[in-house]
Structure 1
Amino acid sequence: MLAEKLDESAIELKKPHKGTKEALSLKQKMEQKLNAARFRFLNEQIYTMDSKEAKKIFEQDPDAFRVYHEGYRQQVKQWPLNPLDVVIQTIKRMPKSLVVADFGCGEGRLAKSVPQRTFSFDLVALADHVTPCDMAHVPLHETCIDVAVFCLSLMSTNLGDYLLEANRVLVVGGTLKIVEVVSRFERPEDFIKAVQYFGFKLMWKDLTHDYFYFMDFKKITILRIRPNCRSSNYTYSLVCTRRDSL
């Protein structure tokens, strides 16, 4: 009887107390709320500063970038589709000999999912194959890329610098793929017009989705400097809507 009682006690000791479970659950919920609040704060910062300033923030606090992308992953789960899946399937159908550059790659999933050689860039490297840099100045030679991808990564205030850099690295005839949240656009036709001032021509668009706009441009002109025209300011007509507002 004593042995049986000891065994029962051992079993009882292994069971977590209800209070411990509740405390752990409460702690996890608090951490999730804090991370969500930090994600919203970081998101606001990124959209209201230029890429150089954003890079400096994440260099000073690398954990902030991890928190940001964890918040982003949670947001993706709420969407009816992940636009990156669409981009991946599209590029898979392209010739394998093409070279791709993923601007604002996050964890670099695109490079891991397509057969083409793919360069992955973001402010901080979350994976070994990601190159940390300011996306307005990527470490690539001129006209060495066939496809440039901006999938939900046209964020900071200097969008024109991103487009100018995409023009620099793309070959003439190369493809610029842009995916953005619908709510960021006041007038998509203005944005399209602005992109075309940076040496591109719209080849295809899908504005039928409720959440995302998909656009493909072709590089038709080599551009050495930012376009000196009022229309180029249309790149800043994107409404700074946070990703977490969807």
Structure 2
Amino acid sequence: MQDDKSSRKRKRKSKIGSSADPSCNDASIICDKRKKVVKKVELPASSTVVATNSLKQSKSNAFLDKMRAKLSGGHFRMINERLYTCTGDEALSYFKEDPSLFNVYHTGYQEQMFHWPEQPVNIIIKWLKSRKTSLVVADFGCGDAILAKNVKNKVFSIDLVAKDPSVIACDMSNTPLDSSSIDVSVFCLSLMGTNFPNYIQEAYRVLKPSGWLLIAEVKSRFDPNNGGADPDRFVNAVSQLGFTLISKDFSNKMFILLYFKRKVPLPDLEEKQSSKGKQIEWPELKPCLYKRR
């Protein structure tokens, strides 16, 4: 009986061995071919080095980009502060010495505007599109001439440097435009110089009687509680120059909008208008100094 049992055990072991994978040396281990075997693939040492170097290079490039952005932002704020604390003529000479600074300034300016929920130039574009395309426009401080590119009106784009062939490069207080030749004068965040009243006076000169003056400015510049100008005093000064306030919009968080019309002066008073601007008490507009982001 014991011999029969031993014989049956040997046969079972024999069957187990025959069903096992030949590579299994230990008869107690069953290698089931139906099970998937996951093999660990060892990368060559050279591939690991390349991957590590690539990661280091990526981190290095990201760091350099961050440093360049900081330097560019600092340069923009320096130029911006200078433009708010000098006259238009001084700003014109500044950019003539190094025109590349104008590109640095406008790149930084666009970065700041990117964070604004709404752009004032878009509101002005919408306003113009609701009126006749025959209206001739003067865009004082046009930058990239966005206004001219988005309306069908004839637009004279004016700025200190011509970033576009259509832009007239000049001091905004002394433009080559003819007197009483413009229907709409626009200042969109461009009353920057310390002699900004001269810019508005020039806008009066080139405007036709009953022509429009549109001013969009940073709201903080008109906040008396934080060192800004009293908006009523500013409106009063513009009115004394020869304008009538038609409407104002203080609803936006970032900027204000003022809509004036040029008064129709009496013929004998027209010649006195050039000296009238010097007699007006203009409020000082607080410089708009952008914070470091």
Which residue of 235, 241, 244 maps to 1:198?
A: 241
Partner of 1:72: 109
Does 1:37 pair with 2:74?
Answer: yes
Structure 1 stretch displaced more, 81-90 or 18-27: 18-27
User: Secondary structure of the equivalent of 1:134?
Assistant: coil
Q: What value does the CA root-mean-square deviation take over the aligned residues? A: 2.0
1:160, 1:226 within 8 Å by CA — same for their partners in 2?
A: no
User: Secondary structure of the equivalent of 1:115?
Assistant: coil
Alpha-carbon offset, residue 241 of structure 1: 2.6
Which residue of 99, 102, 107 maps to 2:136?
A: 99
Where do residues 42-191 of structure 1 align in structure 2 (5 Å cutoff)? 42-185=79-222, 186-191=229-234
Partner of 2:274: 224
In structure 1, what residue type is equivalent to 2:244?
K
Higher strand residue share: 1
Alpha-carbon offset, residue 28 of structure 1: 1.1
Where do residues 9-24 of structure 1 align in structure 2 (5 Å cutoff)? 17-24=54-61
Change (3 A) 1:67 1:228: closer
Alpha-carbon offset, residue 245 of structure 1: 7.7
Q: Which of the pair has the greater relative contact order for Cα pairs under 8 Å at 6+ separation?
A: 1
Partner of 2:36: none
User: Secondary structure of the equivalent of 1:55?
Assistant: helix
Distance 1:78 1:89 in 2: 21
Distance 1:243 1:91 in 2: 29
Change (3 A) 1:119 1:242: same
In structure 2, what residue type is equivalent to 1:47?
Y
User: Secondary structure of the equivalent of 2:176?
Assistant: coil
Partner of 1:233: 281
Partner of 2:289: 242
Change (3 A) 1:16 1:62: farther
User: Secondary structure of the equivalent of 2:274?
Assistant: coil
The count of corresponding residues between Structure 1 and Structure 2 is 234
Change (3 A) 1:213 1:245: farther
2:197, 2:277 within 8 Å by CA — same for their partners in 1?
A: no
Distance 1:152 1:243 in 2: 13
In structure 1, what residue type is equivalent to 2:221?
R
Change (3 A) 1:24 1:228: closer
Structure 1 stretch displaced more, 213-222 or 135-144: 213-222
Alpha-carbon offset, residue 243 of structure 1: 4.4
**Structure whose alpha-carbon radius of gyration is higher:** 2
Alpha-carbon offset, residue 130 of structure 1: 1.1
Alpha-carbon offset, residue 15 of structure 1: 10
| Percent of aligned pairs with the same amino acid | 40
In structure 2, what residue type is equivalent to 1:225?
S
Distance 2:192 2:112 in 1: 16
User: Secondary structure of the equivalent of 1:183?
Assistant: helix
In structure 2, what residue type is equivalent to 1:193?
N
User: Any unmatched runs of 5+ in structure 1?
Assistant: 1-8
Alpha-carbon offset, residue 24 of structure 1: 1.3
